[in-house]
Structure 1
Amino acid sequence: MAKKGVTVVNNLIHIAFKQALKKQAQALGFDYQDQGYIVIIGLGDTSLTQSEQRIGVVTHGDVQPVDASKWAQSPFKLDDTSEQGKLLTHAYFLMQ
């Protein structure tokens, strides 16, 4: 939640959100890096070169309704054909 005059890195809600992401990532065996405005969650050796395999999760923390007409396929299924080399989906998980 944005607060006027408070940067993301000083926003207590954003800090709590990042802590929950870290806990969930570690519980699932992913590595976690906090870069201030963004976090990086991945799986695999972090020293790999670009030509080697590593899985990363790209996401955002705001909630948006899904407009299925803007997707080549169902946004709720893993799409591995619309963009070569990419796995696309509109997914969510519950942090407990």
Structure 2
Amino acid sequence: MTQKPMTKTQLVAALAEATGADKKTADANLAALTEIVTKEVAAGGAVTLPGLGKFACRARPARMVRNPATGEQMHKDADRVAKVTIAKALKDVINA
């Protein structure tokens, strides 16, 4: 059941075929979408792609973590991470 993930080239080709555009236009659209989502999430906002999911930025507090190699406890500063919540429609299609 495990298969290789779709590459960018394959995604651009599939997008071009689905929209009836050429690959150059599809690549430009994909790059624009990536840039928009990246800027919004980096600014602390969220972007919902209907049918796919929601991309958001989440703040994590400072905490103590353990080095798995040595077992040593160390302090990790607060940081921000990207979070993706999968849409219910996509979950339903996957589990159908």
The TM-score with structure 1 as length reference comes to: 0.27
Mark the structure with the bigger radius of gyration.
2
Q: Flag the structure with higher helix content.
A: 2
The TM-score with structure 2 as length reference comes to: 0.27
Q: Flag the structure with higher strand content.
A: 2
